[in-house]
Amino acid sequence: MSPTLARFFPILQWGRAYDRKALSGDMLAAVIVTIMLIPQSLAYALLAGLPPEAGLYASIAPIILYAIFGTSRALAVGPVAVVSLMTAAAIGNIAEQGTMGYALAALTLAGLSGVILLVMGLLRLGFLANFLSHPVIAGFITASGILIATSQVKHILGISAGGDTLPEMVWSLAEHLTATNWITATIGITATAFLFWVRKSLKPLLRRAGLGPRAADMLTKAGPVLAVVVTTLAVWGLNLADQGVKIVGAVPTGLPPLTLPSFSSDLISLLLLPALLISLIGFVESVSVAQTLAAKKRQRIDPDQELIGLGAANIAAALTGGYPVTGGFARSVVNFDAGAETPAAGIFTAVGLAIAAIALTPLIFFLPTATLAATIIVAVLSLVDFSILKRSWSYSRADFTAVAATILLTLGLGVETGVSAGVLLSIALHLYTTSRPHIAEVGLVPGTQHFRNINRHDVLTEPSLLTIRIDESLYFANARFLEDFIADRVATGCPIRNVVLMCSAINEIDLSALESLESINHRLGTTGIKLHLSEVKGPVMDRLERSHFLQQLTGQVFLSQYDAVRALSPTVIPPAARTA
Amino acid sequence: MSPTLARFFPILQWGRAYDRKALSGDMLAAVIVTIMLIPQSLAYALLAGLPPEAGLYASIAPIILYAIFGTSRALAVGPVAVVSLMTAAAIGNIAEQGTMGYALAALTLAGLSGVILLVMGLLRLGFLANFLSHPVIAGFITASGILIATSQVKHILGISAGGDTLPEMVWSLAEHLTATNWITATIGITATAFLFWVRKSLKPLLRRAGLGPRAADMLTKAGPVLAVVVTTLAVWGLNLADQGVKIVGAVPTGLPPLTLPSFSSDLISLLLLPALLISLIGFVESVSVAQTLAAKKRQRIDPDQELIGLGAANIAAALTGGYPVTGGFARSVVNFDAGAETPAAGIFTAVGLAIAAIALTPLIFFLPTATLAATIIVAVLSLVDFSILKRSWSYSRADFTAVAATILLTLGLGVETGVSAGVLLSIALHLYTTSRPHIAEVGLVPGTQHFRNINRHDVLTEPSLLTIRIDESLYFANARFLEDFIADRVATGCPIRNVVLMCSAINEIDLSALESLESINHRLGTTGIKLHLSEVKGPVMDRLERSHFLQQLTGQVFLSQYDAVRALSPTVIPPAARTA
């Protein structure tokens, strides 16, 4: 088997080692995940503004494609809450919910997202996801959780309301509140309370009743299924649909249909930016889940191959009546905990869901949408975690600013603006910090060959020798800053004869910075002061040697700062060490 | 005098020390600069697509305002080539040249630019200009020079042609070439050749004829005036205007009029981005000239106060019939060389130009526009310098990419796209570099306490101790990179018991990177490997102490790498030094 083939088709690797033990683990995990996914896929389709079957379809073909191309053993791919919300936000302004245009736009969004992920993977651009910083993602997920939960309140109350941002949603809910259908509200609120209780209190109860930890966990995860069954039976038995309780209704029976996304350039240009954001957010969420789970079993994830796997999954979604998918946190953890050994578990899950699509859809005719809304609300409120605000506040004001802005803008202006602003702001804050670097004057720590900041440590110095350590790479944004600092410092310190630039923290000197160094060297030279460098790193030195700077330099380049001091100001060094 | 007042009104400082010597220097410089500026202001107005008097007006009030608020002693403010071109590009799509709307848009552009500069100065945002890197500016100026020269060829040939980009201009010239007016072309080509000869060969000739270097220099600078006088007389004497030679024609006589920019929000929103780019480019050009000249006399420039000075000058231009202005290179150097001691030279220049506006405008009725075009071509071709391509190619591929892209995009898509793309690309390349940092394994240089890369130096190491020096601040874009590197390295090196992260090049650890460090620490801990830090800088340590990381750290924090090795792997250190 060629290594390239194995890289692009991880299935060839795990497939040949597949055995009976892996099979039994994968089968069990697939049964549990299938039971969990049936209500979840229906609910997330509702959140995305699509008919319920779109959620099922988005869970079948994509999961198989990911199993072939993905590198994670436990990741479960399908519709997830945040991506469903982003899908609704992206399409909401283009087409009316419930129309063919809306469904077509969802297919197109999935197709675009798949192509973007695939191309990024083939070009090995996985590193781009690193520009979504942890605090920005944390803030975005928290704000999205609030938006999602708020968007479901209308289904709980049985009213119609709209809005893409928190103020719009709250305003619209308030306007329609008087139209509340009290039977729907009773079902919705009871289901929500029940599911919260299941999540919080059922597991300890079952444990106390003598169940093993894993069985208790699995039963807890089946809570939503119970809520679905009970409320469906209640609506059917009591004829509540006639009282205005909204139900899922007729869902087509059968395997996912073959579909084609739109190739209209107008639609594509409208959806391109949302597709890019959905791809990045989905990729980041998926990879971080996959890495967490892989680390537990000492396996490794290849982020660039993950892009290919997720790209293939999204293209599959576009061709089989789905919408954008990614690796979900909750379902992947359940899959892992239930003992999934290989991606074959995903293939078995797909088979289970296909059976559901063929055989079970008539049974959910009377399922009230309020129950689906309740499962969404309970699932996403666990995403809401404001502790990132406290953590970042105490650690760094820049990180806090990025988090707070992401949360506020996501809530106030919508998901796309929120996450874009968060990314741009965190990059801008980083650039701002590096454009005004920390600069320290350093001296010798007595009894060592080590140099530290004269303001923080008791160190030895000599007035004719000024040693400056600049704590940043030198590049265009801070080149002039160093020029100004040295000009000011030299103007105030009269007897200076030598300036040493200690370069231990300089990882790059770009052309702008080189010009600044040349001008510092020249300006110091005209006042009779020599400029020296010390501790210049290999890659930086290689580059300086390709310029004329080293010939122009009035002073020398020293391997270490200690060598520089020994040569330029030997009186600082204790007599015993001077000859060493 | 309060220091705040003196900061905002530098005139109060130099004004009270003003004496007879300064007066005579300033007067002489003003006379020379006035003679140079008359043809130049007319020509640059032509370049901006405005009537010639707009160039004169833009040189009178703005220069006075700058003299009050600016910090440079020698900077001469007024219309300059690049900003004139950018003005034409910004307004060209909004209004027709020669209409009232066009002039109004120019006033509005100057007003907006003035407000932007003023606000940036009051908020002390001068550092923003540093994000225009030297290579991007050099590439932009070179490409602008080519665009400007090409845009003037139509005046030299007496044809009408258009276009904002090089391909458009060349195509339009080729289309109209057959309509060339041969008399105009004779004047234009002769004037251009004469001015090139003056620039290249006149000065050495005058020096050989026995003139002093300064007198020779000044006479050379008067070349354009001679060309203006001779060609104007020729057109008048030979009645060439009747033969189709385009002339300047009637220019209003009198002081600059009082004008108001437009406050239409439509126009303002169209001009906002161009105004921002003009402000930044103008500021960068102006400050670099001012700093070069100030350094020669050991004076200092305050960039934030320069923003205020240039802002006031542009607002003055908006109120007196001008268009965007900034500090020009050529005129400032002439001013400096001619002996200007204080900004009073600028005030005297303004008086000289005001006299010209009142008394001389009838004399330029017959001045052919071809002569003005010739002065522009000769002036801007000195800006064209492709050596930056060679310098950046040999020094750094990233810088080269930024320069080449800026030049190509400016020529191919116009000035605004070119400079924006250059800035964004240089930021993106910088982020890319820092997202994949250089990481070195280091060992002890024998006989010292200094640690260097094991691949570049003969150093002492010990297999159970892995020391990693990461040559970059740790932030969101590279946090995962370090995680992956350590995971891979540890997986291959079996006997490792201690990992030391040498932090001498780490200037910042943001929250994302802190989370990565926590996960590295945790992951190493589960395999029985301890993580240590060494040479952590003061500001970074302060921040780590505000988190829980140091309590979780499985190893220690060492002041120096030498201390770390002495504690963790003492056999590396020669026996004699171990007790030191």
- Which amino acid appears at position B211 of this protein? L
Nearest CA to A414 among A174, A172, A146? A146
Task: Report the distance separating Cα A61 and Cα A75, nearest Å.
Answer: 15
Collect all residues of chain B within an 8 Å Cβ-Cβ radius of residue A436: 127
Residue B197 within a domain: no
pLDDT, residue A2, reads 62
The domain that contains B450 carries what CATH number?
A: 3.30.750.24
Residue A15 within a domain: no
Regarding whether A572 and A525 lie in a shared domain, the answer is yes
* DSSP per-residue string spanning B38-74: HHHHHHHHHHTTS-HHHHHHHHHHHHHHHHHH---SS
Is A426–B476 a contact, with Cβ atoms under 8 angstroms apart? Answer: yes
pLDDT, residue A376, reads 85
Residue A544, min C-alpha distance to chain B (Å): 8
Regarding whether A537 and A484 lie in a shared domain, the answer is yes
Is B511–A433 a contact, with Cβ atoms under 8 angstroms apart? Answer: no
Regarding whether A165 and A274 lie in a shared domain, the answer is yes
What's the predicted TM-score (pTM) here?
0.81
Which of A399, A438, A476 minimises the CB distance to B510? Answer: A399
Q: What is the per-residue pLDDT across B209-255, written as a single tens digit (0 to 9) for each?
A: 888 877 787 778 778 888 989 999 999 999 888 888 888 888 888 88
Residue A432 within a domain: no
Collect all residues of chain A within an 8 Å Cβ-Cβ radius of residue B523: 295
Residue B14 within a domain: yes
At which of A403, A429, A453 does a domain end? A403
Burial (CB < 10 A; 0-12, 13-18, 19+), residue A79, is: buried
What is the edge-to-edge ordering of all strands in the sheet holding B530-534? B451-453, B439-444, B465-470, B498-502, B530-534, B557-558
H or E stretch covering A451: strand A451-453
ipTM of the complex, rounded to two decimals: 0.79
Query: Which regions of B32-175 does DSSP assign to beta strands (E)?
Result: 77-78
Residue B228 within a domain: no
Which residues lie below 8 Å from residue A191, measured CB to CB, with a gap of 6+? A227, A231, A370, A371, A374, A375
Task: Please tell me which residue, B89 or A17, carries the higher pLDDT value.
Answer: B89
Is B471–A391 a contact, with Cβ atoms under 8 angstroms apart? Answer: no
Regarding whether A472 and A372 lie in a shared domain, the answer is no
Collect all residues of chain A within an 8 Å Cβ-Cβ radius of residue B560: 445, 448, 450
Residue A8 pLDDT greater than 80, yes or no: no
Task: Please tell me which residue, A112 or A208, carries the higher pLDDT value.
Answer: A112
Residue B24 within a domain: yes
Q: What is the per-residue pLDDT across B286-314, written as a single tens digit (0 to 9) for each?
A: 887 887 787 777 677 788 899 999 999 99
Both tokens of A358, joined, read 């063929």
Q: Helix B20-47 to helix B223-237 angle, to the nearest 10 degrees?
A: 50
Residue B435 pLDDT greater than 80, yes or no: yes
Regarding whether A392 and A534 lie in a shared domain, the answer is no
Collect all residues of chain A within an 8 Å Cβ-Cβ radius of residue B471: 507, 537, 539
pLDDT, residue B384, reads 87
Interface test with A, best of B391, B473, B503, B526 (most A CBs within 10 A): B473
- Contact present, A440 and A431 (Cβ < 8 Å): no
Regarding whether B427 and B514 lie in a shared domain, the answer is no
The mean pLDDT of chain B is 87
At which of B366, B388, B423 does a domain end? B366
pLDDT, residue B300, reads 74
Regarding whether B110 and B126 lie in a shared domain, the answer is yes
Collect all residues of chain B within an 8 Å Cβ-Cβ radius of residue A131: 431, 435, 476-477
Task: Report the distance separating Cα A522 and Cα A510, nearest Å.
Answer: 18
Residue B151 within a domain: no
Task: Work out whether strand B77-78 and strand B439-444 pair parallel, antiparallel, or are unpaired.
Answer: unpaired
Confidence of residue A29 (pLDDT cuts 50, 70, 90): confident
- How many domains does one find in chain B? 3
pLDDT, residue B580, reads 44
Residue A108 pLDDT greater than 90, yes or no: yes
Is A547–B433 a contact, with Cβ atoms under 8 angstroms apart? Answer: no
Q: How many contacts, defined by CB atoms under 8 Å, are there between A and B?
A: 184
Regarding whether A301 and A187 lie in a shared domain, the answer is yes
pLDDT, residue A125, reads 87
For A444, phi and psi rounded to 5 degrees? -80, 130
Q: What is the per-residue pLDDT across A40-89, written as a single tens digit (0 to 9) for each?
A: 888 899 889 999 899 999 999 999 999 989 888 888 899 998 899 999 98
Q: What is the per-residue pLDDT across A126-171, written as a single tens digit (0 to 9) for each?
A: 888 788 888 888 888 899 889 989 988 999 998 988 888 899 999 9
Collect all residues of chain B within an 8 Å Cβ-Cβ radius of residue A472: 473, 507
Query: Which regions of A312-425 does DSSP assign to beta strands (E)?
Result: 326-327
What is the separation, in whole angstroms, between the first and last Cα of chain B?
59
Both tokens of A487, joined, read 């000009």
Task: Work out whether strand B326-327 and strand B77-78 pair parallel, antiparallel, or are unpaired.
Answer: antiparallel
Residue A575 pLDDT greater than 70, yes or no: no
Is A395–B538 a contact, with Cβ atoms under 8 angstroms apart? Answer: no
Task: Work out whether strand B451-453 and strand B465-470 pair parallel, antiparallel, or are unpaired.
Answer: unpaired
Regarding whether B104 and B28 lie in a shared domain, the answer is yes
Regarding whether A186 and A126 lie in a shared domain, the answer is yes
Angle (CA) B239-B241-B243 rounded to 5° is 85
pLDDT, residue A576, reads 62
Burial (CB < 10 A; 0-12, 13-18, 19+), residue A332, is: buried
Task: Report the distance separating Cα B14 and Cα A476, nearest Å.
Answer: 33
Per-residue pLDDT averaged across A171-186, rounded? Answer: 92
Regarding whether B431 and B447 lie in a shared domain, the answer is no
Task: Report the distance separating Cα B395 and Cα B411, nearest Å.
Answer: 24
Burial B72-101 (b: 16+ CB within 10 A, else e): bbbbbbbbbbbbbbbbbbbbbebbeeeeee
Angle (CA) A551-A557-A562 rounded to 5° is 165
Is A508–B433 a contact, with Cβ atoms under 8 angstroms apart? Answer: yes
- Contact present, A210 and A124 (Cβ < 8 Å): no
Q: Which of A124-128, A322-326, A397-401, B167-171 has the lowest mean pLDDT?
A: A124-128
Task: Report the distance separating Cα B348 and Cα B341, nearest Å.
Answer: 12
Which of A133, A433, A448 minimises the CB distance to B508? Answer: A433
pLDDT, residue B576, reads 61
Nearest CA to B297 among B328, B342, B242? B342
Interface test with B, best of A300, A480, A481 (most B CBs within 10 A): A480
Instruction: Identify the residue whose tokens are 């000769």.
Output: B378
Nearest CA to A535 among A442, A447, A436, A433? A442
Per-residue pLDDT averaged across A96-113, rounded? Answer: 91
pLDDT, residue A580, reads 45
Residue B145 within a domain: no
Confidence of residue A435 (pLDDT cuts 50, 70, 90): confident
pLDDT, residue B32, reads 83
Collect all residues of chain A within an 8 Å Cβ-Cβ radius of residue B435: 127, 130-131
Task: Report the distance separating Cα B342 and Cα A73, nearest Å.
Answer: 75
The mean pLDDT of chain A is 87
Is A505–B510 a contact, with Cβ atoms under 8 angstroms apart? Answer: no
Confidence of residue A406 (pLDDT cuts 50, 70, 90): very high
Burial (CB < 10 A; 0-12, 13-18, 19+), residue A258, is: exposed
Q: Which of A14-23, A112-121, A232-241, B497-506 has the lowest mean pLDDT?
A: A14-23
For A160, phi and psi rounded to 5 degrees? -105, 135
Nearest CA in chain B to A403: B511
pLDDT, residue B493, reads 56
Residue B508, min C-alpha distance to chain A (Å): 9
> Whole domain around residue A327: which residue ranges?
26-403
Both tokens of A455, joined, read 């303001």
Is A559–B399 a contact, with Cβ atoms under 8 angstroms apart? Answer: no
- Which amino acid appears at position B356 of this protein? A
pLDDT, residue A156, reads 92
Task: Report the distance separating Cα B277 and Cα B288, nearest Å.
Answer: 17
Confidence of residue B63 (pLDDT cuts 50, 70, 90): very high
Neighbours of A304 (CB within 10 A): 16
Per-residue pLDDT averaged across A263-277, rounded? Answer: 89
Q: Which of A290-299, A366-375, A396-405, A423-432 has the lowest mean pLDDT?
A: A290-299
At which of B366, B392, B411 does a domain end? B366
pLDDT, residue A533, reads 94
Regarding whether B113 and B23 lie in a shared domain, the answer is yes
Collect all residues of chain B within an 8 Å Cβ-Cβ radius of residue A480: 130
Angle (CA) B75-B78-B82 rounded to 5° is 100
Which of B80-84, B312-316, B330-334, B392-396 is modeled with the greatest confidence?
B312-316
Per-residue pLDDT averaged across A20-33, rounded? Answer: 83
Q: Residue B558's beta-bridge partner residues? A: B534
Residue B505, min C-alpha distance to chain A (Å): 4
Both tokens of A91, joined, read 């399409």
